[in-house]
Structure 1
């Protein structure tokens, strides 16, 4: 029997945490803990070792962005995979989106999303992929397709990749899941997952969202492919 995805919910409003717990109880997601601020979120993540942290952004004390960075970059249990962070916020602002993704978040959704999409997103990020609200995806495309490459001095950072790795990175930027990438390139899902991990290591990135951002930033204006949220 498939193990439920273990989730830590983080929000400074008790009403929101209660509603999330009640809603997720009816799914195959298990809420293993709650936190009302960023500092406690980090402590709870280290202690409970969830699969996914459902993270608010604006909270008293340590913000959700700072907590995300701490969880992702300072994970103290090398024998256990670090949690994936899915940001869930009311504030659809570019500054929060960019900060959360730079901090290592694997997804960004708004609190007006449907319960079905939220559950899907939790499963997607738990599997190591990414999920963005459609409005966020569209704005990221507009932002980065307007920038001339290379974004970084010294040339295109994607030149560090092999041809196969670059092919995979470009399909990640289009929002394709591992299964769809495998079908497109004639690979196995395990092979795609291994390739994605090599890309992350070579480029010093944290997750698939950052791969997509780098690919979009490296493309010339007008050439950016319209990405969609992972399905």
Structure 2
């Protein structure tokens, strides 16, 4: 299956470079481009990509607002595209706001081509693109952002009775930034089983993606110490 990508960036040279990198990778194809958030929303509806590769700092409608409109107010037919946000700095507050708006992860603009390809495939598969080394920092920064920058976030349920013990284990590992493959290795499960259980966790908790699951686990006191912490 070929993953269709919509490339969104206000700089033409960046869009061209991204297109060249993406189209040289097997199983990836650029279905269109957009120069701002308004175009991104319109072309996402028209082209129905699997993944929107979204810059966050653009004139007019920003990547944050475009992400919110695509993910939370999807007007088009078919499944909602996954949004993977692009940034220059991994602590950009607007990137974190975009994640809260429903993006499945973020990617640095100086990432290697193979990392970009892997991130796009992971995003298309519903996985969050968050390195374990920055997961805790991400959670800390997002929860400290001013409310005006944040989309409403799901509050933790009074208890975790909606989840089985195994699903809670999966949720904890998702919150630590582990991929499905890593979770499968940790728990002795197949990757397909992990993917199914992650989907059940999201459905039962009413969450959109793994980033929201990580935030939920943090608020529920499940996440524990982040990578590199005692």
Q: State the TM-score bracket (shorter-chain normalisation).
A: 0.7 to 0.9
Quote the Cα distance in structure 2 between the aligned partners of 1:125 and 1:37.
21
What whole-Å deviation, never above 9, does each CA across 1:88-128 have from its counterpart, x for those lacking one? 12244342232011111111111111112111111111111
Q: Which stretch shows the higher mean deviation, 136-145 or 169-178? A: 136-145
- SS in structure 2 opposite 1:88? strand
**CA contact under 8 A between 1:216 and 1:224: conserved in structure 2?**
no
Structure 2 partner of 1:73: 72
**For structure 1, which runs of at least 5 residues remain unmatched after alignment?**
none
Deviation at residue 179 of structure 1 after TM alignment:
3.2
- 2:208 counterpart of 1:206: yes
Structure 2 partner of 1:4: 2
- SS in structure 2 opposite 1:85? strand
- SS in structure 2 opposite 1:194? helix
Distance 1:144 1:219, change over 3 A: farther
Quote the Cα distance in structure 1 between the aligned partners of 2:194 and 2:156.
29
Deviation at residue 143 of structure 1 after TM alignment:
4.9
Distance 1:145 1:166, change over 3 A: farther
- SS in structure 2 opposite 1:86? strand
Structure 1 partner of 2:178: 176
Structure 1 partner of 2:227: 226
Quote the Cα distance in structure 2 between the aligned partners of 1:207 and 1:35.
24
**Root mean square deviation, CA, Å:** 2.8
Structure 2 partner of 1:95: 93
Quote the Cα distance in structure 2 between the aligned partners of 1:198 and 1:220.
18
TM-score (norm 2): 0.82
Distance 1:144 1:40, change over 3 A: closer
Quote the Cα distance in structure 1 between the aligned partners of 2:132 and 2:192.
28
Deviation at residue 183 of structure 1 after TM alignment:
4.0
TM-score (norm 1): 0.82
Quote the Cα distance in structure 2 between the aligned partners of 1:141 and 1:41.
27
Quote the Cα distance in structure 1 between the aligned partners of 2:206 and 2:46.
27
Query: After the TM superposition, which parts of structure 1 deviate over 6 Å for at least 4 consecutive aligned residues?
Result: none
The count of corresponding residues between Structure 1 and Structure 2 is 218
Distance 1:25 1:203, change over 3 A: same
- SS in structure 2 opposite 1:176? coil
